[in-house]
Amino acid sequence: MKGKYVGYVAGYDPLHDFLGRIIRDHMDVREPQPAFRAFQLSGSNEVYAYEEKSSGTRVICKFYGPRFTQDLGLAAIVAQQEYDNLNILRGYNLVGSPHHVIRPLGVCPDINCGLAVEYFPGEELAHAIMRAAHRGDDVYLLSRLKALAYFLSTQHERTAQRESVDFGIECDYFDTVVRTLLNLGRINKWDAEEFFWLRGLWQECPRMWQDQQVWLHGDVTPGNFLFGAGLRVGAIDLERMRRGDRAFDLGRLVGELQHTFMITTKHKSRAEPFISYFFREYSSHFPDRRATFDSITARTPFYMGLNHLRVARNDYIPDAYGQRLIRQAKRLLRLS
């Protein structure tokens, strides 16, 4: 298990009792005096793995307290929302192999607004991307994209709703991102006006409104899926799950692929074979694969451009590379 070992959870710590109840009530571990080793994992929130020493049982806890927000009431709501989201998606039989949504085990608002979930052993997509980028192991990345395309097509197909997509929600979010970039000084007012104009062109496209809503993962980034043997995929981090256009999930993923190759190899073209392969694999799971392929590839440039703008907001992105992302976003959005 990867992570930085940080010691044992003290017996007097309320977290010790919480973990003890989790392994007893949900994992049938009857250790009379459990001892929990703690490992700090990477993540946008405080994320730790806890391993009970005698049984080897592992639990992951995400804490939504001060690092996520100073509003502990909001943090508790977000923790509960992710707990509910996990259960909703698992209710579509996305449990087991090959498609697995991790099991939520409990929420404890009084302990830094913590959420406990099962431990799922697997490799992040980011590792496969790095193998392709730095070692030329394209086949390995293609195998992971094949598994992820199968997972997402299954999730989207099983959760399709009768309601049509409300693309206006995505346009509002787009405008928020553009305003943030303007306020940060990463774009000027002329850039912002061009982005608003391009968004307006997309907003007028009938195809952006016509698909059925599905349950979206909402944050399809390389760190939010874990891969096991064969086609096995585990989905984690569902705090942003919502209903919307399936192309949002797909555009976020291929946007992340393009961004990762741009920043690691300096060549966005390196990502193109993987993007095309992913779209073909996703489409192959629908009765009319050609119509599906044409439909999603007509919509995803908007979401790819939006993803690049979203990434460019971050303060860890160097300004020169941020400008490259912004230029690439414009190219994608001009495809309307």
Q: Is the pLDDT of residue 26 over 80?
A: yes
Q: Where are the beta strands (DSSP E) in the chain?
A: 4-8, 36-41, 46-52, 58-63, 99-101, 104-108, 114-118, 123-124, 214-216, 225-227, 233-235, 242-244
Query: Can you tell me the distance from the alpha carbon of 174 to that of 303, in angstroms, rounded to the nearest whole number?
Result: 9
Q: How confident is the model at residue 14 (pLDDT cuts 50, 70, 90)?
A: very high
| Polymer length of the chain | 336
Q: Write the CA distances from 136 to 152, 177, 266, 328, integer angstroms.
A: 26, 34, 15, 24
Indicate the class that CATH gives domain 123-333. alpha beta
**Token code pair at residue 227:** 């891969």
Q: How confident is the model at residue 69 (pLDDT cuts 50, 70, 90)?
A: low
Residue bearing the bigger pLDDT, 43 or 89: 89
Q: What is the CATH number of domain 4-118?
A: 3.30.200
123-124, strands of its sheet edge to edge: 99-101, 233-235, 225-227, 123-124
Q: Please list the alpha-helical segments (H only) found in 32-137.
A: 72-90, 125-135
Q: Is the pLDDT of residue 288 over 90?
A: yes
Mean pLDDT of 65-73: 70
Mean pLDDT of 258-276: 93
Q: Is the pLDDT of residue 158 over 90?
A: yes
The number of angstroms, rounded, from the C-alpha of 275 to the middle of its chain's C-alpha atoms is: 17
What are the boundaries of each domain within the chain?
4-118, 123-333
Mean pLDDT of 35-59: 91
Give yes or no for a cis peptide into 98 (omega within 30° of 0).
Answer: yes
**Token code pair at residue 187:** 């774009």
Amino acid symbol at 331: R
The answer to whether 218 and 238 are in contact (CB under 8 A) is yes
Question: Do 4-118 and 123-333 share a fold?
Answer: no
Q: Write the CA distances from 178 to 174, 208, 216, 256, integer angstroms.
A: 6, 20, 23, 18
Mean pLDDT of 82-95: 98
Mean pLDDT of 291-306: 98
Residue bearing the bigger pLDDT, 73 or 275: 275
Mean pLDDT of 100-122: 95
The answer to whether 238 and 221 are in contact (CB under 8 A) is no
Give the pLDDT of residue 128: 95
Give the pLDDT of residue 336: 77
Q: Is the pLDDT of residue 33 over 70?
A: yes
Side-chain half-sphere CA neighbours of 296 within 13 A: 28
Give the pLDDT of residue 1: 60
Instruction: Map 30-48 to HEC letters.
Output: CCCCCCEEEEEECCCCEEE
Helix (H, G, I), strand (E, B) or coil at 216: strand
Helix (H, G, I), strand (E, B) or coil at 273: helix
Q: Give the β-pairing of 4-8 and 214-216.
A: unpaired
Give the pLDDT of residue 67: 60
Q: What is the pLDDT of residues 126-140, one digit of tens each?
A: 999 999 999 999 999
Give the pLDDT of residue 75: 86
Q: What is the pLDDT of residues 188-246, one digit of tens each?
A: 999 999 999 999 999 999 999 999 999 999 999 999 999 999 999 999 999 999 999 99
Instruction: Tell me the pTM.
Output: 0.94
Give the pLDDT of residue 45: 66
Query: Can you tell me the distance from the alpha carbon of 119 to that of 179, in angstroms, rounded to the nearest whole number?
Result: 39
**Token code pair at residue 299:** 């919509």
Q: Please list the alpha-helical segments (H only) found in 185-245.
A: 189-203
Q: Is the pLDDT of residue 32 over 80?
A: yes
What is the overall mean pLDDT for the chain? 94
Q: Is the pLDDT of residue 308 over 70?
A: yes
Give the pLDDT of residue 335: 85
